[in-house]
Structure 1
């Protein structure tokens, strides 16, 4: 049994999955199960026991946590092609964050027994190590940005990441980001008012165009210059 060619192509938008051997891509998809969520439904909750390894086939998933004051912080939004959930399967500890459907979602779920079997394959084990390293680098970069970078630089960097699918880091750029300013502010840990002022200034310099529920990248070179503090 082979996975649908269109599904393989769709998942290969993600650099990590695209780098796997074709036979391994097929084995992962053939041995996965479909799970669907409606908008607002949770796939995972913080504190859940380790479960499955997931690949996002359709829709978008919000990764978030709650502060002591009950305020939500959005860490990232997973898009089609992302694979995730390996950390708890590796260390056996509870899930660290909530994950809920932003839109109608379809994921491919690899059960723990199948994940363990795949880990006996050296190619898959190395790929999981690389995925962990990629996720770790992204977290470290966000921490570094929050401590050392100006608000303008942080906004520019996050918009540039979102233009490439944020955590998926797709090679394909997109210039229309379907994200509200409220969500972007929660991703950055800043107030909506601060974000609005910075985006207005960035728009005046020709880097972005602001529309309802969207941020359009007008000039990626200008955005990259802002990201570098130029």
Structure 2
């Protein structure tokens, strides 16, 4: 958790107050942290493991919005607005989540520095959301896939750092992009041919960011 850029930006006493206001939630793979429509009950930080945020479309298909990795904090909008959760969050693997109690969160929000940090966190999440919307509207399928791979390699919604390997199945990536598994396979094969990526079971390795960035520009 201390490796989280957002958490690390907090003052030491604020970090301690946040942790003291949390309870620990242990999730098994496939277990829900909360479902769409559930009332707010915490401001969450992923200590280990990975979660996914998703929703069901009218046709019953699942749309994966984000992969929430260790170090990510989320749930601030429901805590501030009091509105129910807008999507489902479920564990992709066994995970440990810290959940700040509403009362503790509200007390911390009385501190101007913490309130500013929450505003910055919301700005990060909003920028991420606008980027996803922009990609869907303005780019070709191949460019959308390439751009999402770059985003995932940067920590997806946290944009916290870079890695060369993305632990994600092709099925899940297709659900994130709202394309068929067959279409994704064709486009990934083209990226392999360009020397941009290599494919492995349950993961995608970025071999050349330059080649991938070039694909991002091809429309």
TM-score, length-normalised on structure 1?
0.92
Aligned counterpart in structure 1 of residue 74 of structure 2, from 81, 84, 98: 84
Where 2:29 maps in the other structure, the secondary structure is coil
Aligned to 2:193: 204
- Structure 1 residues 1-230: aligned runs within 5 Å: 11-171=1-161, 173-229=162-218
Could you say what secondary structure the match of 1:27 adopts? helix
TM-superposed deviation, 1:30: 2.6
Q: CA RMSD in A?
A: 1.2
**By how many angstroms is 1:21 displaced?**
1.9
Tell me how far 1:28 sits from its aligned partner: 1.2
Structure 1 contact 13–170 (Cα < 8 Å) conserved: no
Distance 2:24 2:9 in 1: 23
Give TM-score, length-normalised by structure 2. 0.96
Distance 1:131 1:213 in 2: 30
Q: CA deviation at 1:23?
A: 2.3
How many correspondences in the alignment? 219
Counterpart Cα distance in 1 of 2:3 and 2:148: 20
Question: 1:220 and 1:46, CA in 2 relative to 1: closer, same or farther beyond 3 A?
Answer: same
Report how far residue 164 of structure 1 moved. Answer: 1.7
Q: Offset of 1:49 from its aligned partner?
A: 0.8
Contact 1:76 1:167 in 2 (8 A): yes
8 A contact 2:124–2:158 mirrored in 1: no
State the alpha-carbon separation in 1 of the partners of residues 103 and 21 from structure 2.
Answer: 11
Secondary structure of 1:174's aligned partner? coil
Deviation at 1:83, TM superposition (A): 0.2
Is the contact made by 1:65 and 1:98 (CA closer than 8 Å) also made in structure 2?
A: yes
Q: Aligned equivalents of 1:43 and 1:222: distance in 2?
A: 38
SS at match of 1:70: coil
Superposed CA offset, 1:120-150 (max 9, x none): 0101000111111111111111111101111
CA contact (8 A) 1:15 1:169 kept: no
Contact 1:161–1:169 (CA under 8 A) maintained in structure 2: yes
Unaligned runs of 5+ in 2: none
Residue segments in structure 1 that go unaligned for 5+ positions in a row: 1-10
